[in-house]
Amino acid sequence: MMIPGRALHRLAARICRAKTIERVVEPAIADLQREYLDARAEPAWRRGWVLLAGYVAVSKVLVLSLAEPTLLSSDDRGALGRTLFAAGVLMVAFSGLLIAFPVARFPQFIRASHVAFLIPQALPLSIPLAVTLGIAYGFTGRSVSSRAVKIAIVLALVGSVASLGTTLWIMPTANQAFRQEMFIALGNEGTVMKGSTEMSLAELRLDVAAARARWDLQRAREGEWSYHIRWALPWATLVLVLFAFASGRCLTTWHGWMAMGTCVIYFVLLHLGEALVYRWNAPPFLGPWLPNGAFVLAGIALRRRA
């Protein structure tokens, strides 16, 4: 039986003091585990929500525990403060740009409430960009401790977990809600059919199986791509941040243009992965995971070289 929180417990053992683990981290994980066990009889979406809320809370506990003021120098606090500020501003800016595209398609029908439906589809792309560039802005040229680096990595982990929750549960529902609103606004009646980005994971699996059964391989590929990208893309935040620290080692050599270049390369590799899946019939999991795998291997190679 799955018991949540074990990975976070192991992470906490590596980055927190024993007293903090006993007094702060373990109570949070214990409550998460009990809440999840109590939700066993609930529907899957409710269990998923319990898990997401619990993981976000425990991740926040880890970040707050690490950022105890007495253990961080003013340089560390400055670097982390600048990182959080820059990442927040950039996330809003990138999300705004990504929301602008669908708004531009239906400008006469868009209301303020529709914008809320568009935010989840922007986050999996805006979070990795914002966090990677934010860390370049916050850490470059400053002497920081390994503790501050660990906190930044935990922040990236929180970003990835939040993004994963969004792609798996929130984004499909929000996308479908937006499409339904536009469908009705265009004078149609009834319910708009779901595309692959609007289906839940279970619906996607069924759709792919049905497409394969009737030899609709294009539809099957689209469904498989959509399924795997939802699992792979959220980890871009953590992968890019780990790569940044591995390549910089001391991040003083990392600049904003290097961070932007890294993000561009990530998305180029993602498009390459898409081409591999759609044009060259590569296994469907390979395309979405290609950039993550490439950056993990590159990071390991750079660390060994350093």
Nearer of residues 158 and 239 to another protein, judged by Cβ:
158
Q: What is the Cα gyration radius of the chain?
A: 21
Nearer of residues 66 and 277 to another protein, judged by Cβ:
66
Nearest distance in Å: CB 9, another protein: 8
Task: List the one residue out of 19, 20, 21, 1 whose CA is nearest residue 9.
Answer: 21
Nearer of residues 55 and 227 to another protein, judged by Cβ:
55
Nearest distance in Å: CB 221, another protein: 40
In angstroms, the CA 301 to CA 241 distance is 15
Task: List the one residue out of 225, 106, 118 whose CA is nearest residue 178.
Answer: 118
> Do the beta carbons of residue 115 and residue 95 sit within 8 Å?
no
Nearer of residues 1 and 193 to another protein, judged by Cβ:
1
Nearest distance in Å: CB 66, another protein: 11
User: Which parts of this chain interact with another protein (CB under 8 A)?
Assistant: 1, 3, 5, 9, 20, 23-31, 33-35, 37, 53, 56-57, 59-61, 64-65
- Contacts of residues 258-267 at CB distance under 8 Å and 24 or more positions apart, as own/partner, are 258/136, 259/132, 259/133, 259/135, 259/136, 260/133, 262/132, 262/295, 263/128, 263/129, 263/132, 263/133, 265/291, 266/128, 266/236, 266/240, 266/291, 266/295, 267/291
Nearer of residues 69 and 190 to another protein, judged by Cβ:
69
In angstroms, the CA 43 to CA 45 distance is 6
Nearest distance in Å: CB 4, another protein: 9
Nearest distance in Å: CB 46, another protein: 16
DSSP string, 56-71: HHHHHHHHHHHT-GGG
Nearest distance in Å: CB 123, another protein: 19
Nearest distance in Å: CB 37, another protein: 7
Nearer of residues 28 and 118 to another protein, judged by Cβ:
28
DSSP string, 100-163: HHHHHHSTTT--HHHHHHHHHHHHHHHHHHHHHHHHHHHHTT----HHHHHHHHHHHHHHHHHH
Q: Any idea what the Cα angle at residue 73 is, between residues 154 and 128, rounded to 5°?
A: 30
Nearest distance in Å: CB 105, another protein: 37
Nearer of residues 61 and 246 to another protein, judged by Cβ:
61
Nearer of residues 61 and 80 to another protein, judged by Cβ:
61
